[in-house]
């Protein structure tokens, strides 16, 4: 069985038009093939693409002071894969990242967005590959 993701579904995983266009309309035989293609298409992400993705990204809960400091420093919402982190770990990570320069933080945000996209792709498509 192959899976052909739709553009709109892909935008739910990572709201970057170029990325969704690159992945949509193609058939993938395995989840691993889709994941590898997704990572390749999201590497690198331009500053404008990161801004595009973050414009649709919700602010995560907890530690509003730390997130406000981050948003003040970098001018964008704090993004992190929080699935295996405690609120304390997220707060510590926000503090650590405040020390990044703009280039290092842009790379960090791009990495987080790629990771979030993979998590969302797995949630959206893993069952379709497993139903063979």
Q: What is the pLDDT confidence band of residue 28, given thresholds at 50, 70 and 90?
A: very high
Confidence of residue 131 (pLDDT cuts 50, 70, 90): low
Check whether 132 has a pLDDT greater than 60: no
Paired tokens of 117: 């996209």
pLDDT at 22 exceeding the cut of 90: yes
CB atoms within 10 A of CB 57: 19
Distance CA 94, CA 77 (A): 11
Q: What tokens does 101 get?
A: 């320069």
Angle value at C-alpha 15, between 9 and 18, nearest 5 degrees: 95
Alpha-helical segments (H) within the chain: 7-13, 17-23, 31-41, 47-55, 64-74, 87-97, 102-130
What confidence tens digit (pLDDT) does each residue in 71-109 have? Answer: 999 999 999 998 888 989 988 999 999 999 999 999 999
pLDDT (average), residues 113-131? 93
Give the Cα separation of 110 and 104 in Å (integer).
Answer: 10
Higher pLDDT, 87 or 14: 14
> Residue 83: CB partners within 8 Å, gap ≥ 6?
119
What is the domain partition of the chain in residue ranges? 7-130
Residue 61 has a pLDDT of: 62
Provide the H-helix boundaries in 42-99: 47-55, 64-74, 87-97
Peptide bond into 37 cis (omega under 30): no
1 and 132 Cβ atoms separated by less than 8 Å: yes
Write the class of the CATH domain 7-130: mainly alpha
Q: What is the pLDDT of residue 83?
A: 84
For the stretch 40-74, pLDDT in tens is 999 999 999 999 999 988 776 666 677 889 999 99
> In this model, does residue 32 exceed pLDDT 60?
yes
Residue 3 pairs with which residues in a beta bridge? 28
């Amino acid at each position: 069985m192959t899976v052909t993701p739709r553009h709109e579904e892909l935008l739910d995983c990572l709201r970057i038009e170029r990325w969704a266009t690159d992945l949509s309309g193609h058939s993938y035989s395995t989840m691993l093939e889709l994941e590898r293609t997704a990572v390749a298409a999201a590497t690198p992400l331009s500053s404008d693409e990161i801004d595009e993705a973050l414009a649709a990204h919700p602010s995560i809960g907890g530690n509003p002071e730390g997130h406000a400091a981050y948003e003040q420093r970098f001018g964008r919402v704090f993004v992190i894969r929080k699935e295996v982190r405690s609120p304390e770990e997220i707060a510590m990570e926000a503090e650590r990242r405040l020390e990044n320069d703009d280039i290092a933080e842009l790379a960090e945000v791009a990495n987080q967005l790629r990771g979030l996209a993979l998590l969302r792709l797995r949630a959206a498509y893993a069952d379709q590959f497993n139903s063979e």
